[in-house]
Structure 1
Amino acid sequence: MDIHETLVSLFNTYTNENEKAVSGNKSAGTRARKALSEISKLCKDRRKEIQDMKNN
């Protein structure tokens, strides 16, 4: 799975868990925050990939 597909999957996870967290599920809030953290890391990696493609 490439970074783009992983980002899409993590975003879907985040949206689902966020909906549960808003409803009061505290465990879902933890999972939503974890997904956001992973998204942040992967965004940096994907940005670097795109920059490298542009420069080559």
Structure 2
Amino acid sequence: MKTFDSLKGLVLGAEEDALKFFEKGNQAAGTRLRLAMQKAKLLAQSLRVEVSESKKKK
């Protein structure tokens, strides 16, 4: 559950940069958003592995 909470926090934290990029055209916010989404991708993959391992144990 810790990984899920981290993923959720990361996405919620990136919301401000998404608004700045898409509504105001702030290029630096777009760079930060891309970095956050890359981290989210890695966390999502880690979460998938955790779920699969947990299912195998049951």
Q: What TM-score results when the alignment is normalised by the length of structure 2? A: 0.87
Which segments of 5 or more consecutive residues in structure 2 lack a partner in the other structure?
Answer: none
| Alignment length (residue pairs) | 55
2:37 equivalent to 1:36: yes
Matches of residues 12-31 of structure 1 in structure 2 within 5 Å?
12-22=12-22, 23-31=24-32
For 1:46, the equivalent position in structure 2 comes to: 47
Q: What TM-score results when the alignment is normalised by the length of structure 1? A: 0.89
Partner amino acid for 2:20?
K
Deviations 1:1-56 (A, max 9, x none): x2111101111122221110111111110110001000000111000000011000
Which segments of 5 or more consecutive residues in structure 1 lack a partner in the other structure?
Answer: none
Partner amino acid for 2:33?
A
Q: Could you say what the CA RMSD is over the residues aligned between the two structures, in angstroms?
A: 0.9
